[in-house]
Amino acid sequence: MSEGLAEEYENFINAVVDDASLDDAVAVSQVSRNELLCLREGQELPLLHLRRVECLSGRHRIGAAKAFLDENDHWWTVRLFSKNTPEPVLARIVESEEMPPDGERFSEKYS
């Protein structure tokens, strides 16, 4: 994988997680919910082991990772939203996902 590709903001996967799953993952990671909410660009992101998330956008990134990356490199940065997030907000997140132009996808596939 290109260095930092999964950590670039525009490449994040947006997903919804239920509070119980997040609480379990936070307890294991020894990071508080407040620390997660206060993360800023450039800070090291904690690794959370979540049983299940519902992808809002970025499924094409997951497919590309499975198809082209070494199995030890199957990870990606995920921006988590609560299941309690209002539907209009979640809909806007889905709508704002920008697919790369065909030429860009082609050049990435063959470079």
Return the pLDDT at 7.
Answer: 63
Q: Is the pLDDT of residue 62 over 60?
A: yes
Segment 93-109 shows an average pLDDT of 61
Return the pLDDT at 99.
Answer: 59
Q: If DSSP states are collapsed to H, E and C, what string results for 5-23? A: HHHCHHHCEEEEECHHHHH
pTM of the full structure: 0.68
pLDDT > 90 fraction of the chain, expressed in percent and rounded: 24
Q: Is the pLDDT of residue 3 over 50?
A: no
- 19-34 confidence digits (pLDDT tens): 999 999 999 998 888 9
Tally of CB atoms within 10 A around 77: 16
Helix (H) or strand (E) holding 43: none
SS3 73: helix
Q: Is the pLDDT of residue 92 over 80?
A: yes
Return the pLDDT at 6.
Answer: 56
Please list, in sequence order, all residues whose beta carbon lies within 8 angstroms of the beta carbon of residue 53, skipping any fewer than 6 positions away: 15, 16, 17, 21, 78, 80
